[in-house]
């Protein structure tokens, strides 16, 4: 798994229902930008408040809209219930997704043994590429480097979205993979650490910001891999105010506000999430203007 994977939002209408016409427009933008892929039904897609039927609808539409393009579809099928995760993962694989994003089970706080068994249960029964998703700030549990190395031995477990925000931990994983002679693609789960993480061996990013500017995010990686580190650094610094402020409050509230400002979607979330405060809105608008994001422009960036 390489490149820029957009953690795509789920747009809602004024009644709180899926707004599929907007979802299709967002997918078209990703396709035209030649983003590596989109991830549906993840954290940024408000998976926690989507029904199973809604998740399936979003996955199917993404597959239909991106069919024949170079932009792949990954489905967020992870839950804190192994049996439910397995059933949704089987279904998504049958529909033709490129991969599965499996978050570490949340709330029930499994041990490392429990985490290992959870992921292997899916990997053994679904012959599809799996991206592990480590995000301890949301799940109250973190995969250890040792557990990650064990899981990397499975042929279907091919990548890890590392969203702890800890570059030292990312370096530790990379070091242990080298020592164990195992391969696992590591992707940053934090836009602000995208460029720094490339320097320690990641192969891409699962990005929130690329909902707004997928071409620019791809340009950062292309510049870095071409050895043009100065250009990569300049792009990173230019967009850093947004990398920072898209997490000014709980994701995805800031990116939904930003996309609404830019004319892409309505600023509507499902409870218990709410729109960002007026103070945060003012700060985010300032950063959007600094990064040349125009109001209601639907710019292809």
| Residues with catalytic function | 133, 161
For 78, residues 6+ apart whose C-beta sits below 8 A from its C-beta are: 85, 100, 101, 102, 103, 104, 105, 133
| Distance of alpha carbon 300 from alpha carbon 233, whole angstroms | 22
Buried b (16+ CB within 10 A) or exposed e, 243-255: bebbbbbebbbbb
State CA 290 to chain mean position distance.
Answer: 24
| Rounded Cα distance, 133 and 287, in Å | 28
Our CA angle for 4, 29, 247, nearest 5°, is 55
Report yes or no: 258 and 242 within 8 Å, Cβ to Cβ.
yes
Tell which residue, 81, 160, 161, has the closest CA to residue 121: 81
CA distance 154 to 50: 30
- Rounded Cα–Cα distance for residues 142 and 139 (Å): 8
For residue 105, the 8-state DSSP code is: P
CA distance 210 to 297: 16
């Amino acid at each position: 798994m390489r490149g820029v994977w957009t953690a795509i939002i789920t747009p809602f209408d004024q009644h709180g229902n899926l707004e599929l016409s907007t979802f299709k427009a967002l997918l078209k933008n990703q396709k035209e930008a030649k983003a590596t892929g989109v991830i549906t039904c993840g954290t940024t897609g408000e998976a926690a408040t989507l029904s199973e039927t809604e998740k399936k609808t979003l996955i199917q539409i993404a597959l239909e809209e991106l069919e024949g393009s170079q932009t792949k579809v990954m489905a967020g099928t992870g839950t804190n219930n192994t049996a439910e995760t397995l059933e949704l993962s089987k279904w998504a694989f049958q529909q033709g997704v490129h991969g599965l994003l499996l978050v570490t089970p949340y709330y029930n706080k499994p041990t490392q043994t429990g985490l290992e068994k959870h992921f292997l249960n899916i990997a053994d029964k679904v012959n599809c590429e799996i991206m592990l998703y480590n995000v301890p700030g949301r799940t109250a549990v973190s995969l250890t480097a040792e557990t990650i190395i064990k899981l990397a031995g499975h042929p279907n477990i091919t990548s890890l979205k590392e969203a702890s925000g800890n570059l030292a931990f990312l370096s530790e994983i990379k070091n242990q993979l080298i020592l164990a002679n195992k391969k696992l693609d590591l992707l940053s789960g934090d836009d602000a650490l995208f460029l720094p993480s490339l320097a320690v061996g990641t192969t891409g990013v699962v990005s929130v910001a690329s909902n707004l500017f997928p071409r620019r995010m791809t340009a950062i990686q292309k510049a870095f891999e071409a050895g043009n580190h100065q250009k990569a650094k300049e792009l990173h610094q230019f967009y850093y105010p947004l990398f920072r402020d898209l997490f000014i409050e709980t994701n995805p509230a800031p990116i939904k506000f930003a996309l609404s400002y830019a004319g892409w979607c309505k600023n509507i979330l499902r409870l218990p999430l709410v729109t960002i405060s007026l103070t945060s809105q003012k700060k985010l608008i300032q950063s959007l203007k600094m990064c040349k994001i125009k109001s209601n422009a639907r710019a292809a960036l």
